[in-house]
Every structure is written in structure tokens, then in C-alpha cells.
Amino acid sequence: MNIRRILEKLIKGEISINDAEKKIKLHAIEEIGELVKYDLGRELRRNIPEIVYAEYKNVKVLEDLIHRVVDKSGRVILSRLQDEHFNLIERLKDKFDVKLSRVGRIAVIRRKGFKVDLTGGVVGLVTAGTADIPLAEEAKLIIEEMGCRVVEIHDVGIASIFRVIEAVKRLVEADVDVCIVIAGMEGALPSVIASLLDVPVIGLPSSKGYGAGGGGLSALLSMLQSCATGLVVVNIDNSVGAAVAASLIANRAAKFRGGGCS
């Protein structure tokens, strides 16, 4: 719950001053053993839920972390889950509300009954090819957890340029506030879409490319060298960074057009 939502509840008399004070106080950095430190005040300061990079964490450490963070904050997002983590996530479904994408290797663990406030922000999410869908799945879950609606369009590579035009029409009709465009290979799609939209576009290079500029390098360099204004670029496969940035933009736009919380 962010500070604005806490103050709204206070004004409406839904919580007491003491309750509001408790919720607003920033928690100190928590430690789990000597291995993990996490920042419980992040969501209050920045409206960003705690996102844990799970890839190199063993199952026991991850389980302890989930219980501690959910107990204090109400939810936690786990990114880059490994095969050995999935059994743990399944076991937790009895105790917590769980959203899991095996394709995106990401999960949200929430306290039972935890509610995500919808902001009115709208984020476009476009992939050049089906190989980019795992990054899109990771981004989508984070964007939705930050209260935005996602408009997904897949397999829009520039090899068939008419598909790009149709995708742009859908994005305009949906009145998106910002758009994430994921591409590997030559990474041209974000530039094309940025040249046709009047909102910020975030280019997300995918490591699915191969050959001389494989591993996403060609896509990254192409996006960085783009002539299309209004295009910004995150690092290769950094779907978390793209999702958070897009959500912050969309939520800010929604706030000033009166999207509010629902």
C-alpha cells in the first residue's frame, strides 16, 4: 500500500491515525541470516513492490525470505525462478495467494486477501517474436502488480511490416501511456514503433539473437543508435527494469488525468 492510499483511507475514516502512522513508518533494512538484506520501505517511497532476484538463492533462503517479506509488506515478487523453486511455490499456495508464470520464471506471493489498487495506467507490451514471450510474461506480471492494465501484442516482427502497423493501431486505440517493445536479432522494432507513437517507448533487447551480434548485442546497439526520438533503452533481457519504469510513467500519467485508485 503506498502513502497516497494510506492517507486516502485515513481521510475516509477507514483507519485510525495510529494505524496510518504505523503503515507510513519506514522499516529498517531486514536481514535473513547473514545472506539477504531487503528494503521494506521501497514501496512506501517509490510505489515499487519488493522484487527478489531468485536465480542464485537456495530453496531454504527463498522460503524464509518469502515469509518475512509477506509478513511485513503483504507481498513479494520473485523473478528468475529456477526449476528447484517451483515445488516451493506450489506448496505455498495453501498459505498465500500465488500468481506464477513458469514461462516468465516469475511469481507473486501475497498475503491472503491482499488487494492491488488499480491506478488507471495503461502499458503497451509488444514482442517481435514468440521467443521474446518469456521476457514479456515477466514484465506483464510486474506491471499488473503495480496497478496498471497491460495491452499485449505478440509476434510483430518487422519481417512483415503490415503487422507493425496493425499493432500501432491497437496501441493508439487502447490509449497506452507508454509502451515496452521487446526485440532480438537486429532490434529494429522499437525504433519503428517509436516513430509512429506519441508516447514514450522503452526498448528491451532480447538475448535470443544469434550470429555476429548474438546474445542481444546487435539489438542493444541498434536501439541505442536509433534515430527515433522518444525511445529509451534498458539492458539486454532487463524486463524487470523496463516493467518498473513503464509502470512509474503510466501511474504518473494516470494520477494527473484523474485515474485514481479503485
pLDDT band at 39 (very low <50, low <70, confident <90, very high): low
Enumerate the domain spans of the chain.
28-110, 122-256
**How would residue 209 be classed by pLDDT, with cut points 50, 70 and 90?**
confident
Half-sphere exposure of 46 (CA within 13 A, CB side): 12
pLDDT in tens, 65-117: 899 889 878 899 999 999 999 999 999 999 999 999 999 999 999 999 999 98
Taking all residues of the chain, what is their mean pLDDT, rounded to a whole number? 89
What is the rounded CA–CA span in Å between residue 222 and residue 185?
A: 10
| CA distance linking residue 114 with residue 12, whole number of Å | 20
Whether residue 45 is predicted with pLDDT greater than 80 in this model: the reply is no
Q: How many angstroms separate the CA atoms of 50 and 52, rounded?
A: 6
Q: What is the structure's pLDDT at 36?
A: 55
* CATH T-level assignment (fold) for domain 122-256: Rossmann fold (3.40.50)
Higher-confidence position of 34 and 189: 189
What pLDDT is attached to residue 2?
A: 64
Question: Contact 88/58 with Cβ under 8 angstroms?
Answer: no
Report the DSSP pairing between strands 178-183 and 201-205: parallel
What distances in angstroms separate CA 99 from CA 145, 185, 233, 252, 261, one per listed residue?
10, 31, 28, 25, 22
The whole-model pTM stands at 0.84
- List the grid coordinates of 157: 516482427
Q: Is the pLDDT of residue 259 over 60?
A: no
Q: What is the pLDDT of residue 204?
A: 98
Give me the pLDDT at residue 200, please.
97
Q: Is pLDDT at 199 greater than 90 in this prediction?
A: yes
pLDDT at 262: 46
pLDDT at 26 (0 to 100) = 44
pLDDT of 4 above 50? yes
CA dihedral of 178, 252, 27, 262, whole degrees rounded to 10: -100
Give the pLDDT confidence of 132-162 residue by residue, as tens digits. 999 999 999 999 999 999 999 999 988 888 8
Q: What is the mean pLDDT of residues 9-36?
A: 70
Closest among 192, 208, 193, 202 to 130, alpha carbons compared: 208
Contact by Cβ (8 Å): 132, 184: yes
Taking alpha carbons only, the member of 94, 42, 90, 35 closest to residue 65 is 35
Task: Report angle CA 203, 204, 207 to the nearest 5 degrees.
Answer: 140
pLDDT at 217: 94
